[in-house]
Structure 1
Amino acid sequence: MRIKRTTSIEAPDINLIPLIDVLLVIVIFLVVSTTFMQPSQLEVDLPGTQSASEDTTPPEALRIRVGRDGNYALGSQSVLTETQLRTELSKVLLTKPAGEERRAVVEADAAATHQSVVLVMDMLASLGVARVSIATAGGKAP
């Protein structure tokens, strides 16, 4: 008895559906794991210091930027005037628990007026902020 073997000339095909599924899962993972930052609209050129120090400000501290033109920014909010800054600061500070220590970091432009920086520090003191720091660009001497 003779058995005939049939040979097929079909080329093997690659199934692309599992490959597409894996690629979609990778894309979804990358999108979910990426953090998005909202940079402030107020550009600030911090003054330099002689000694290089690392930024040791806690993440829960308020960040207030003072621009060279006298505008202010609170966190990632856009440019604010003096009265808008006072209202926004009081809103933010009212949401904090009473027992929690209130901290703030003032990031003033090197060309900002002394009056605008003192005004911000006065606002913070009147609203009960316990610790106010002034940010500098460490290691970049003027």
Structure 2
Amino acid sequence: MKIRRARSSTPPDINFIPLIDVLLVIVIFLVCTTTYVRQSQLKVELPGTQAAQAAQNTEKPLVVKVGADGNYALDGELINSEAVLKTRLEGLLRRMAKPADGRVVIEADATATHQSVVTVMDVLASVGVAKVSIATASTNVRSR
């Protein structure tokens, strides 16, 4: 005797509710265990409006220009060697009211070598200048 199973005409269903429950538990676990601490290596205090106004009222910075040929100019005076540049910088920094606050701007020609700019930076570091800026020209770049 053959026993036949009754065949169901409806296809089997996939129940998504347990899957959704498991995913919600995982999301809740991740939210609870994640730390929202901002880790920072440097503590930076941004200047307020008073500090910004005080920075604008400071004296004019020294300007060191680096030519394409490797020559230097300090406040418009042509200088041929690093030794002369160092002695002139030392003299100018001694005459400044606040030598520790002496700022220097390096204006280098676009075709000047990197070595000549680095040499100027080394000379500035050797005379004790801590604030060095490098001037750049703004260009309007259009994307196509």
TM-score range, shorter-chain basis? Answer: 0.5 to 0.7
Deviations 1:77-116 (A, max 9, x none): 1343222111111110111235651100000011111111
Distance 1:93 1:118 in 2: 20
Q: How far 1:140 sits from its partner (Å)? A: 5.0
Q: 2:62 maps to which residue? A: 62
Q: 1:116 maps to which residue? A: 116
Q: Does 1:92 align with 2:95?
A: no
Q: 1:76 maps to which residue? A: 76
Normalization by structure 2: what TM-score? 0.53
- Paired residues of 1:104 and 1:132 also in contact (CA < 8 A): yes
Q: Which ranges in structure 1 are unaligned for 5 or more consecutive residues?
A: 1-55
Between 1 and 2, higher relative CO (CA 8 Å, sep ≥ 6) is seen in 1
What is the number of equivalent residue pairs in this alignment? 85
Deviations 1:23-63 (A, max 9, x none): xxxxxxxxxxxxxxxxxxxxxxxxxxxxxxxxx8x652110
CA RMSD of aligned residues (A): 2.1
Q: How far 1:121 sits from its partner (Å)? A: 0.6
Counterparts of residues 48-59 of structure 1 (less than 5 Å): none
Q: In structure 1, the residue corresponding to 2:77 is in which secondary structure?
A: coil
% identity of equivalent residues: 49
Q: 1:105 maps to which residue? A: 105
* AA aligned opposite 2:121: M
Structure with bigger helix share is: 2
- Paired residues of 1:102 and 1:128 also in contact (CA < 8 A): no
Normalization by structure 1: what TM-score? 0.53
* AA aligned opposite 1:91: G
